[in-house]
Structure 1
Amino acid sequence: MSNKKTRLASLSLAGRWVLTWQSPLFKQKLLMAVAVLLCLTPVFPMFYQYIERREGYFYNDILLNIIPAIDVSIPIFVITWGMALFALTRVVQNPSLLLGLLYGVIIVNISRFISISMVPLNPPHGLIDIWDPITDLFYGETYVTKDLFYSGHTANQFLFFLVLQKKTDKYLALTTTILMGILVMVQHVHYTIDVIFAPPLTYLCYLLARRMAKL
């Protein structure tokens, strides 16, 4: 395995993909991940519109109560999609990392379906809608405010931290994870528990994703 990794590292980007693509297992796992993501795409708006109609309960968040609600949509949008593009440019250089990220995204989203279903929360007081025309495409016709436990914005940043390999990339992703956790609370779109539980739950999802993506 180490010899294979060394050989891959010495090749050009095209060479790494040509060599990895020769593996039937890699092709099977990559195509499976893409197929699952395509199947999930129409599920997102159905699920989120369903939970938006559902009545939940309010959580008395002492910390959030003392944080004034401020519209920080722009930095949230920039971090969300800037880091997504950055992580994508990194993982395409290593096919196995791409698999890990794809399976991580799948499992994190499925786990959020489960956790949101099990913990029905109403949005925090003072919530300010996040301006994000890209994410809104997955929500459906009505803006969604009840996709709360756990924070998907924070989870995605932490997933990048787990998947990326270079130390500088990891420092960047860890920084954006912390910033995102703060920003979604300033925006009052998440409770404190949504943010705090995102990293450990994402880590569990990543462990499973890594096992599934292992070649």
Structure 2
Amino acid sequence: MSDEGTSTLSLAEEIERLEGRVRESARDLASLRRRAQRGAQSEWATIREEWDGLDGRLRTAGLALGVVLFLGAYLFYMNLGWYADQRVLPRSSDWLLDQLPSWNLIPLLSWGWLALHAWAAVTAALYEPRRMPFLLFLLSLYLCVRTLYVFLSPIGAPAAILDMRELDSLFSYVAGEYTFQNEFIFSGHTAVPFLFFLFFERARHKAVMLAGSFAMAGAVLVTRNHYTVDVLSAYLVGYAIYSLARVSFTAVNPQLRGAVTSASPTLR
């Protein structure tokens, strides 16, 4: 066979191999598309199941009570937070802060924190509608406990703090009205994602919030927006708040016991 014929045959074989790969890739893509569609359908089925299982009047009453408690707790926080900001408190540092580098991760603490909790709120509403009264009760209790810590704390900002009021447009807008400067022990940036981690029961939701809590813990330390003890206390006090909320929520209204834990048989 001539060189030209051999070359033509080799080219034809190569084209055939490529066509086989294309067909195989097309089959793989079709399989992935079907799996994605089944996954989406399964997610929507889970969400529909959660919403279909709602007891209208009881859940509405619980949700309304939770909203009232949360608003009351936030007003309590705003008033004592304003008082805390009127004090001139001594600045300090600690051993770990002295060892860590100083990095400007302020956008993570503002916009990142906002995005994380917007995701958490939407996820809770979609996947845990029956447990929303408990979530509001949990966050209300957290606000009350943390407000007392802020009110009674005698220590001011870390000495090398990267001030979010000066370095971030979002925080500068809400500072002094909806959040305050002299609120350190314990770290809300760390504690709130951790509370959502404890609240969620599906593994992937828990993983997102735990990772978010760790990220916030690291960010508040390298920006010197909290002391090390603030971060440690966020986990210890946060767990205590969650445990207290579980006990007291059902003690106040045993009919809402099902709102504390999910009734879903499978949690992914």
TM-score normalised over the length of structure 1: 0.82
User: 1:49 maps to which residue?
Assistant: 82
2:113 matches 1:77: no
Change beyond 3 A, Cα 1:74–1:60: closer
User: 2:95 maps to which residue?
Assistant: 62
**Larger helix proportion, structure 1 or 2?**
2
| Structure whose CA Rg is larger | 2
User: 1:205 maps to which residue?
Assistant: 241
2:224 matches 1:191: no
User: 1:128 maps to which residue?
Assistant: 162
Stretch deviating more after TM superposition (47-56 or 154-163): 47-56
Give, in whole Å, the separation in 2 of the partners of 1:159 and 1:135. Answer: 26
Specify which of 186, 193, 198 is matched with residue 157 of structure 1. 193
Give, in whole Å, the separation in 1 of the partners of 2:66 and 2:212. Answer: 26
State the AA in 1 paired with 2:239.
Answer: Y
- Contact 2:81/2:151 (CA < 8 Å) preserved in 1? no
Give, in whole Å, the separation in 2 of the partners of 1:23 and 1:11. Answer: 23
RMSD: 2.7
Specify which of 28, 31, 42 is matched with residue 64 of structure 2. 31
The DSSP-based 3-state class of the residue aligned with 1:133 is: helix
Give, in whole Å, the separation in 2 of the partners of 1:154 and 1:135. Answer: 20
| Structure 2: gaps of 5 or more residues | 1-42, 251-256, 259-268
State the AA in 1 paired with 2:111.
Answer: V
- Contact 1:87/1:164 (CA < 8 Å) preserved in 2? no
- Contact 2:81/2:180 (CA < 8 Å) preserved in 1? yes
- Contact 1:157/1:177 (CA < 8 Å) preserved in 2? yes
Q: Give 1:44 shift.
A: 3.4
| Structure 1: gaps of 5 or more residues | 1-8
- Percentage identity across aligned positions? 21
Change beyond 3 A, Cα 1:136–1:100: farther
Stretch deviating more after TM superposition (56-65 or 126-135): 126-135
- Contact 1:55/1:122 (CA < 8 Å) preserved in 2? yes
Deviations 1:129-184 (A, max 9, x none): 2226269537418x732100100110011011111122122122111111111101
2:154 matches 1:117: no
TM-score normalised over the length of structure 2: 0.67
The DSSP-based 3-state class of the residue aligned with 2:170 is: coil
Q: Give 1:11 shift.
A: 6.8
Q: Give 1:46 shift.
A: 2.5
Give, in whole Å, the separation in 2 of the partners of 1:135 and 1:154. Answer: 20
User: 1:90 maps to which residue?
Assistant: 123
Counterpart mapping for 1:171-186 below 5 A: 171-186=207-222
Change beyond 3 A, Cα 1:132–1:107: farther
Q: Give 1:116 shift.
A: 1.8
The DSSP-based 3-state class of the residue aligned with 1:86 is: helix
Q: Give 1:123 shift.
A: 0.4
Give, in whole Å, the separation in 1 of the partners of 2:137 and 2:222. Answer: 30
User: 1:3 maps to which residue?
Assistant: none
State the AA in 2 paired with 1:183.
Answer: A
- Contact 2:70/2:137 (CA < 8 Å) preserved in 1? no
State the AA in 2 paired with 1:74.
Answer: P
Q: Give 1:109 shift.
A: 0.9
